[in-house]
């Protein structure tokens, strides 16, 4: 007798219900089930739907990680057998609640050595970080944290692979975090610069140099670097905070308005006089061009103001 699916493919129209007898034959249970379908098309529609449905999707639902794990099983029976074996091991005490091998009850030191050797578990916590797979490293600044972590792994008799997974995850996390910080700093610096340029105009760079010079003079090179790389409670870089930058500029102008002219050292007064003299020569000898040169005019006025402050 042909399979029901083969018989169904030969049925084109409803024949008053005779198609059910063709499919069910002498099987009264199948015949009873087919009575729920008015036409062969209705039955075929549901049949195809069931045939194409993946049991893994129904079992996993929205759990994508569980769905990936189910791909290891070719049929529901394989998954059921695997589950039953795991439950038997847990019930017998072979595994602890976390699913890890359980050491012998009342184990001696010699028993623990043999137990760990059999399962490839390091005899000492530091063994978790020996012979790491390629591309896995532990930075010097992280060794203290991972030493505590290794103690926890060893107490639970976890396999070395657990440490390897943790190290790989942590390294990836740090890389992503560093990349996020770089992008955030770049965006926030650009945001602050755009805002300050609207107010400071062509004096923006001079003001930044003024603040930087005072910070270096106040803290020294090493302290200045630490300060300029510091962050506020919200994670924003200190010098990406407009209020702080404006505060340093104002303080610098009060302390020594000429510092911006000599951020790399030198005689500030002489530098001021030389630049004023150069602009005045430009104004006298190329007056028509100077009259159209707005930045040069603004710069000369600014230098005159600096001179008055310095003299005053």
Token match 């004023």: residue?
A: 276
Does the pTM surpass 0.75? The reply is no
DSSP string of 120-133, one letter each residue: T--SSGGGGGSSPP
CA–CA separation, 207 and 239 (whole Å): 13
Which structural domain range is residue 36 located in?
A: 4-53
Q: Is residue 219 situated within a structural domain? A: no
State yes or no: pLDDT of 21 exceeds 70. Answer: yes
User: Which pLDDT tens digit goes with each residue over 124-156?
Assistant: 888 877 777 777 777 777 778 788 888 888 887
Of 254, 230, 250, residue with least CA distance to 241: 230
**Domains contained in the chain, number:** 2
State yes or no: pLDDT of 103 exceeds 60. Answer: yes
What are residue 231's DSSP bridge partners?
A: 237
Q: Is residue 252 situated within a structural domain? A: no
Q: Is residue 124 situated within a structural domain? A: no
Q: Is residue 156 situated within a structural domain? A: no
User: Which pLDDT tens digit goes with each residue over 162-182?
Assistant: 888 888 888 888 888 888 889
pLDDT band at residue 120 using 50, 70 and 90 as cut-offs: confident
pLDDT at 195: 93
CA–CA separation, 58 and 51 (whole Å): 13
Average pLDDT over residues 296-307: 87
Average pLDDT, the chain: 78
pLDDT at 13: 47
Q: Is residue 222 situated within a structural domain? A: no
State yes or no: pLDDT of 58 exceeds 60. Answer: yes
pLDDT at 261: 66
User: What H or E segment, with its residue span, contains residue 301?
Assistant: helix 294-311
Among 53, 69, 94, the domain boundary falls at 53
Q: Give the burial class of 168: count Cβ atoms within 10 A of its Cβ; 0-12 exposed, 13-18 middle, 19 or more buried.
A: middle
User: Which pLDDT tens digit goes with each residue over 185-240?
Assistant: 999 999 999 999 999 887 888 888 888 888 988 999 899 999 998 998 888 898 99
Q: Is residue 248 situated within a structural domain? A: no
pLDDT at 3: 52
Q: Is residue 287 situated within a structural domain? A: yes
Q: With contact defined as beta carbons under 8 Å apart, do 116 and 107 qualify?
A: no
CA–CA separation, 148 and 137 (whole Å): 17
Q: Is residue 309 situated within a structural domain? A: yes
Across 53-62, 96-105, 269-278, the highest mean pLDDT is recorded for: 269-278
CA distances to 37, 74, 75 from 48, rounded to whole Å, are: 14, 20, 19
């Amino acid at each position: 007798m042909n399979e029901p699916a083969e018989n169904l493919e030969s049925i084109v129209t409803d024949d008053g219900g005779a198609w059910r007898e063709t499919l069910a034959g002498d099987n009264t249970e199948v015949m009873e089930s087919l009575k729920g379908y008015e036409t062969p098309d209705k039955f075929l529609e549901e049949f195809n739907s069931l045939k194409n449905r993946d049991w893994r999707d129904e079992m996993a639902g929205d759990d994508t990680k569980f769905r990936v794990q189910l791909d290891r099983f070719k049929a529901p029976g394989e998954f059921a057998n695997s589950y039953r074996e795991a439950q038997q091991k847990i019930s017998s005490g072979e595994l602890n609640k976390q699913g890890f091998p359980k050491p012998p009850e009342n184990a001696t030191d010699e028993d623990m050595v043999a137990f760990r050797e059999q399962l490839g578990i390091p005899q000492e916590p530091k063994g978790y970080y020996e012979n790491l797979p390629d591309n896995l490293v532990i930075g010097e600044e992280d060794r203290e944290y991972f030493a505590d972590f290794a103690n926890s792994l060893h107490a639970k008799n976890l396999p070395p692979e657990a440490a390897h997974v943790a190290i790989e995850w942590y390294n990836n996390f740090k890389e992503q975090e560093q990349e996020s910080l770089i992008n955030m700093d770049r965006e926030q610096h650009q945001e602050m610069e755009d805002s300050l340029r609207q107010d400071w105009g062509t004096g923006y760079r001079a003001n930044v140099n003024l603040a930087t010079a005072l910070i270096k003079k106040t803290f020294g090179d090493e302290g200045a670097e630490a300060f300029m790389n510091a962050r506020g409670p919200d994670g924003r870089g200190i010098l990406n905070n407009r209020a702080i930058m404006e505060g340093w500029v104002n303080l610098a102008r009060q302390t020594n308005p000429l510092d911006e002219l000599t951020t790399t050292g030198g005689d500030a007064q002489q530098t001021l006089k030389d630049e004023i003299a150069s602009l005045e020569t430009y104004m006298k000898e190329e007056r028509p061009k100077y009259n159209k040169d707005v930045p040069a005019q603004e710069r000369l006025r600014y230098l005159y103001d600096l001179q008055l402050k310095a003299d005053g």
